[in-house]
């Protein structure tokens, strides 16, 4: 049986977009589920868009994501070089082979001529190259090349008939050959175009499954005609639908949409990001949503790929990230969360272990930790109306009375821990004959200054300590007393 070989072939033109990473993940999973081989290839034919350090981003992302490749620029292999700019001689040789066989031709049209032809065309919006050099005499073409005239090599497309190809997601697709332009294969600087280089490389590297976005569906017939011209076997095509940031709008690095690196830096766990991305266009056919990479390597299938675009839902990613966070050990949570804890608690007397215990069941993304706990170090300014709670029909006079009772009860404590704080305040609630919220809501607001906190009033009081808790509670009493005058 033929060994399944797949390749991820990014361009070093910027950061690793979520769509790029999904392509890498699916390509990797196709290889692994078939016990095949996964290759990393750098497609840098567009030198004008090359971005410094983009290769570092690609290598680092692949490593962080756990997408280990069997062959690539930095690991070697029998089919290299794995960087297209280092394969120019290979492309030149194959382009000449197509010219010799009559499937391609040299084109000497200048940019000025092409622009003029485009502007003079009555269908300028859908203008295709007018094949001006297509029937040029080979002897004349050779003379002009020998004279040093600049030229490109174009693919000679059939002018009639149709080209049919089969895609693993979309099935059989047929395109009239009359719609196909005589595309450039080799540019004037002798660098190949993407459309040519990837066909040559995919064949020479033994790629069996080609995974890419649906934006390349219309180019598939061109690729097939190249394969046919060389007498090569056509690989399995797998075209992926786009990822949308909202219906009708694709995720795009040009529009500033987040990259894998952005989410990682914001405190999302790599495992959660990979899990979520795997489900953006693929379904296991069950209700299972949480997958480790090892599980994906066992269960991924081409039949689960969707024909409909996926919408990137940050809320769903946050939820999934929280699931992974809750599965961490306390030690792991502390390791991930420490940099964020240090932003607020470093140098304070707050008990870190207690904070961690309260946070793990509530944090969705690690980067939200500082905002969640900064009140422990510095009481934020809050509106006095926050002391009132609609559910307990608590107005400011009632809140003021409740806080005074709480202050008296807490002041009497000789030992300060959750158990004693809880029992003391419950006794206060019972003696007053009121709902628990009537006492705890204004108390928690007074000591935290915010409506949402990690942990309830008892936990916060213990963390702050008796002196700081009573100090803040007194400030709340004074604030409420001033307001009710």
Cross-strand partners of 250: 244
Query: Of 88, 253, 334, 422, which is the active-site residue?
Result: 253
Does the CA dihedral 336-340-341-346 come out positive or negative?
positive
Structure tokens at 355: 């904070």
**What are the counts of helices (DSSP H) followed by strands (DSSP E) for the chain?**
18, 12
Reply yes or no on whether 485 is catalytic: no
Strands in 209-368 per DSSP E:
209-213, 236-240, 243-246, 249-250, 310-311
- Tokens for 125, please give them: 């919006």
Peptide bond into 81 cis (omega under 30): yes
CA distances to 25, 293, 370 from 65, rounded to whole Å, are: 9, 9, 26
CA–CA dist 316, 322 (Å, integer): 10
Give the pair of three-digit tokens for residue 271.
């495992």
CA neighbor of 331 nearest in space, from 353, 351, 346:
353
Phi, psi of 236 (to 5 degrees): -75, 125
Locus of tokens 């999302």 = 268
d(CA 150, CA 152): 7
- Name all contacts of 376-382 with Cβ < 8 Å and 24+ positions apart: 376/344, 376/345, 376/348, 376/350, 376/460, 376/463, 376/464, 377/344, 377/345, 377/348, 377/350, 379/447, 379/448, 379/449, 379/472, 379/475, 380/449, 380/450, 381/449, 382/445, 382/449, 382/450
As beta bridge partners, residue 211 has 238
Catalytic site positions: 253
């Amino acid at each position: 049986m033929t060994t399944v070989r797949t390749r991820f072939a990014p361009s070093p033109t910027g950061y690793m977009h979520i769509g790029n990473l999904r392509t890498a993940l699916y390509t990797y999973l196709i290889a692994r589920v078939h016990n095949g081989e996964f290759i990393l290839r750098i497609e840098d034919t567009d030198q004008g868009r090359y971005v410094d350090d983009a290769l570092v981003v690609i290598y680092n992302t692949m490593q962080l994501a756990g997408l280990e490749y069997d062959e690539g620029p930095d690991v070697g292999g029998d089919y290299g070089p794995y960087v297209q700019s280092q394969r120019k001689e290979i492309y030149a040789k194959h382009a000449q082979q197509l010219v010799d066989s009559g499937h391609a031709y040299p084109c000497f049209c200048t940019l000025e001529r092409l622009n003029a032809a485009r502007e003079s065309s009555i269908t300028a919006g859908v203008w295709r190259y007018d094949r001006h050099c297509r029937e040029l005499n080979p002897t004349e073409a050779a003379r002009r090349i020998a004279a040093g005239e600049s030229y490109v090599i174009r693919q000679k497309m059939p002018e009639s008939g149709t080209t049919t190809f089969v895609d693993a997601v979309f099935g059989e697709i047929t395109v009239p050959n009359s719609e196909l332009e005589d595309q450039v294969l080799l540019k004037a600087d002798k660098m190949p175009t993407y459309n040519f280089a990837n066909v040559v490389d995919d064949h020479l590297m033994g790629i069996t499954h080609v995974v890419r976005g649906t934006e390349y569906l219309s180019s598939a017939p061109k690729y097939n005609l190249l394969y046919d011209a060389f007498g090569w076997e056509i690989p399995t095509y797998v075209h992926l639908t786009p990822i949308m940031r909202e219906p009708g709008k694709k995720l795009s690095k040009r529009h500033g949409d987040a990259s894998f690196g952005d989410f990682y830096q914001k405190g999302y766990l790599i495992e959660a990001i990979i899990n979520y991305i795997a489900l953006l266009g693929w379904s296991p056919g069950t209700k299972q949503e949480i997958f480790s990479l090892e599980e994906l390597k066992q269960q991924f299938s081409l039949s689960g790929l969707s024909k409909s675009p996926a919408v990137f839902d940050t809320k769903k990613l946050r939820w999934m990230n929280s699931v992974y966070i809750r599965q961490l050990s306390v030690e792991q949570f502390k390791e991930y969360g420490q940099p964020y804890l240090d932003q607020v608690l470093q140098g304070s007397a707050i008990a870190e272990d207690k904070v961690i215990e309260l946070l793990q069941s509530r944090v969705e993304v690690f980067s939200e930790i500082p905002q969640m706990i900064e009140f422990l170090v510095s009481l934020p300014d809050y509106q006095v109306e926050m002391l009132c709670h609609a559910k307990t029909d608590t107005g400011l006079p009632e809140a003021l009375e409740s806080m005074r009772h709480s202050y008296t009860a807490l002041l009497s404590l000789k030992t300060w821990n959750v158990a004693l704080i809880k029992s003391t305040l419950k006794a206060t609630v019972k003696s007053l004959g009121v709902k628990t919220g009537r006492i705890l809501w204004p108390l928690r607001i007074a000591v935290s200054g915010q409506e949402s906190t990690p942990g309830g009033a008892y936990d916060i009081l213990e963390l702050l300590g008796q002196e700081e808790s009573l100090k803040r509670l007194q400030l709340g009493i004074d604030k409420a007393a001033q307001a009710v005058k």
